[in-house]
């Protein structure tokens, strides 16, 4: 996919994995996430947005998505975006778009 070193703290980049647009995100703590790149509110690339704490914020209307679960935290976004399993092996980032992260583990 890419080298982890290509991901800057607090930044998102767009990559295509098996034809699926993915926003690769590294939060300010250095944790990495792979979310579907399409905002659930409209046809906008989330990787062009902003990493704000534990969220990825869409630049178009300010909808925010939790990085670990993809759930929409603020309107006008109300539907979640997918979160894909991400692994880092020897400094390289791998994303599996054939399955989704079990977000139940993150929901209290």
Residue of 7, 24, 44, 56 interacting with ligand FES (CB under 6 A): 44
Quick one: 38 or 93, whose CB is closer to ligand FES? 38
Nearest to 29 by CA among 6, 12, 14, 10: 10
Is 38 in contact with 52 (CB distance < 8 Å)? no
In residues, how long is the chain? Answer: 108
Quick one: 74 or 96, whose CB is closer to ligand FES? 74
Binding to ligand FES in span 60-99, by CB under 6 A: 60-61, 63, 76-77
CA distance 29 to 38: 24
Residue of 22, 35, 38, 39 interacting with ligand FES (CB under 6 A): 39
């Amino acid at each position: 996919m890419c080298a982890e070193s290509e991901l800057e703290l607090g930044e998102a980049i767009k990559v295509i994995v098996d034809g699926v647009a993915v926003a690769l995100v590294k939060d300010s703590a250095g944790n990495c996430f792979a979310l579907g790149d399409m905002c659930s509110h409209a046809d906008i690339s989330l990787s062009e947005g902003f990493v704000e704490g534990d969220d990825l914020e869409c630049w178009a209307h300010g909808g925010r998505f939790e990085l670990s679960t993809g759930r929409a935290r603020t309107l006008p976004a109300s539907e979640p975006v997918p979160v894909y399993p991400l692994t880092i092996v020897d400094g390289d980032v791998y994303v599996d778009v054939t399955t989704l992260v079990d977000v139940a583990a993150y929901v209290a």
